[in-house]
Amino acid sequence: MRTITYLLTKIPKNRSDCIDYHETISNVESIRILGKRQLVDVEVLCIEYLIGIFVWVFNDGTVVSYEERFGGILLRESKARQQKSVNNANRRLADSIKRIESKLGLKVADEQICFN
């Protein structure tokens, strides 16, 4: 779903906006994804979010960057449970990449992108 900001300004803000921009205004030149971990303390809980930073470069020179959360780790849980959370985030990231690639018909990244 396109954002209201995009509908008014034609400046993409998220994945749906970028796909629409690709289909209507300018083709995508490249898409890169960077992994990031963000530690958040909420009272007694420490959560580490697993975030993908998407960088879209379009042929008209427009560059769009946005973040998507793919999971989180409760740091007080066992190492096995933390690894399961990382594996789930990697699966969600891979699914997201596949959806983008099938929609646009181009390769998102050459290297294996995953959270370790």
Question: Token match 């946005």: residue?
Answer: 66
Paired strand residues for 69: 51
Q: pLDDT tens per residue, the chain (116 residues)?
A: 788 999 999 899 999 999 999 999 989 999 999 999 999 998 888 999 999 999 999 999 999 999 999 999 999 999 999 999 999 999 999 999 999 999 998 888 766 678 88
Tell me which long-range contacts 4-11 makes (C-beta under 8 A, separation of at least 24): 11/62, 11/64
Q: What share of the chain is helix, strand, coil (3-state, %, to 5)?
A: 35, 35, 30
pTM of the model as a whole: 0.88
Residue 24 is which amino acid? T
